[in-house]
Homo-oligomer: A and B are copies of this chain.
Amino acid sequence: MPETHAGQKSKSEQLDFANYFVSYGYLYHQKDMLQDQGRMDGYRNAILMNARSFAGKVVLDVGTGSGILAIWAAKAGAKKVYAVEATSMSQHARRLVAQNNLQDVVVVLEGYMEKLEIPEKVDIIVSEWMGYFLLREAMLDSVLYARDTYLKPGGAMYPSHAQIIMAPLCANLHTQRAGEYADELGAWADFSEYMRASNGVEIGGLAEYYDREQFEYLLQTAHWCQLSQAEIIGDEFNLCEMDVHDVTVPQLSDVRCDFRSEIVAETELTAFGGWFDVQFKGSAAAPAGTPVPLSTAPGAPTHWAQQVFLVHPPLSVMEGDVVEGSVRLCRQKVNHRLLYVQVRFTLLRGGAPVEPERTCNYRID
């Protein structure tokens, strides 16, 4: 791939832009995010309740969108805020900055973080970079680039820490998806008959492949879901914990954990759930006076909701059973902004396996 001139996009960048960034160029989408109460409360409190950390500081907002974090940082007393946005939403951000009389503090820059030149080092980097299951979208990569390139020694990242949390579930979604799966297998049988009768073509031999395709789509793709606490049937565990001040892209690209989760009810294990928390605690050198958490756990009112990884067929479980295994999270090959998740687990009762280890593979698309 030849080097592109600054400001020009290569063909693959154009397509990544068309696929990924473009949605962030719509006010409709920004409005959705700005109406996400949990998200807004977290960031607003993190910045405005820590105004002493921001006062007189130089701040960089990576992916400013409509400019909201940059505006709050300026209101918290920042001396200068560089607000970087890859889409033409930057023009709206500039308008909002002016409408809120902060044009002397906030400088909006349109372009890719990796291609722009910020004219000085910064004390604080704020960014709302989190995707589903924390890492979908791979936007943190750009934030880490900004950190490594522009953050002063002792500077602080907002958010500063993040965790991905998982738990075994008896998920309502399983009933629904398993029902759809059964319906599809019936529909294929009808379809085969129609193909023979109306079109003179035998298609029955593809039944097993249709089964597999539907299984992958309905039961091996992670689903966005607003879980209730009642669906959690065992101990939560962390897939990963990161300090945003020192985590690296290679670490984000292949995340693994071993886990052990005790089941707390006699029920069915039908899924694993996954979500994330972030914290705004500042850095060791520049701690936030008022640490602020932002959780996307079941019950939290955010647009991220939770990801559900179905277990099919389900497993009967008893109180005191233990689910033991490992989880691996990595990036998809063609589109690095999407994810693969693998969960390997064994159900133990009285310390002995109830069935052989299962390996479940999922896509987060």
Contacts and interface: CB of A to CB of B under 8 A. Distances in A.
A75 B2 CA distance: 49
Contacts of A184: 28
Nearest to A206: B92
A75 B184 CA distance: 29
Interface stretch (A128-136, A156-164, A193-201, A220-228): A193-201
A11 interface: yes
Given A35-B191, A195-B34, A209-B92, A201 B14 contact: no
Q: Which of A18, A19, A31 has most chain B Cβ within 10 Å?
A: A31
A206 B27 contact: yes
A31 B199 contact: no
Contact of A28 (B72, B198, B217): B217
A153 B101 CA distance: 71
The size class of the interface chain A forms with chain B is 35 or more
A33 to B, nearest CB: 12
A203 interface: yes
A89 to B, nearest CB: 10
Contacts of A12: 11-12, 15
Nearest to A212: B27
Contacts of A198: 40
A344 to B, nearest CB: 27
Contacts of A66: 203, 206
B200 A75 contact: yes
Interface in A20-76: 26-28, 31, 34-35, 40, 44, 66, 68, 71-72, 75
A204 interface: yes
A91 B334 CA distance: 21
18 contacts: A1-B2, A1-B11, A11-B11, A12-B12, A14-B334, A15-B19, A19-B19, A26-B217, A27-B213, A28-B210, A28-B214, A34-B191, A35-B191, A35-B194, A66-B203, A68-B201, A72-B201, A98-B205
